[in-house]
């Protein structure tokens, strides 16, 4: 199921096995609860920076993804108030 919407974020890091950024999100509209996602490989640095900014400023993020299952790849990730 494709998803586009605002989320809370409570963690972000780098996967030691493949170097990909992972983060835990909860959809504000209730579409999914705390679920781990992965950033697209080519956007790792940008997504990690936005994730840290969101957590330190108590902001939300907006994502777009094709799946809302654990470890699905997010192809749009942005910071919102």
φ/ψ region of 55 (left if φ > 0, alpha if ψ in -120 to 50, else beta) reads alpha
Q: Express as a percent the part of the chain with pLDDT over 70.
A: 100
* pLDDT tens string 54-81: 999 999 999 999 999 999 999 999 999 8
Query: Domain range holding 34?
Result: 3-80
pTM for the full predicted model: 0.93
Residue 29 sits in a domain whose CATH number is: 2.40.50.70
Say if residue 15's pLDDT is above 90: no
Q: What's the mean pLDDT when you consider all of the chain? A: 95
Number of domains the chain is built from = 1
What pLDDT score was predicted for residue 46?
95
Task: For residues 30-43, give the mean pLDDT.
Answer: 96
Q: Which residues pair with 50 in a beta bridge?
A: none
**For 41, which DSSP code?**
G
């Amino acid at each position: 199921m494709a998803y586009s919407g605002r989320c809370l974020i409570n963690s972000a890091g780098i996967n030691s096995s493949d170097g990909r950024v992972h983060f835990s999100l909860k959809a504000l509209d209730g579409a999914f609860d705390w679920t781990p996602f992965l950033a697209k490989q080519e956007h790792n640095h940008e997504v990690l920076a936005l994730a840290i900014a969101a957590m330190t400023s108590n902001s939300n993020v907006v994502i777009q993804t094709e799946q809302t299952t654990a470890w699905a790849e997010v192809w749009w990730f942005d910071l919102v108030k």
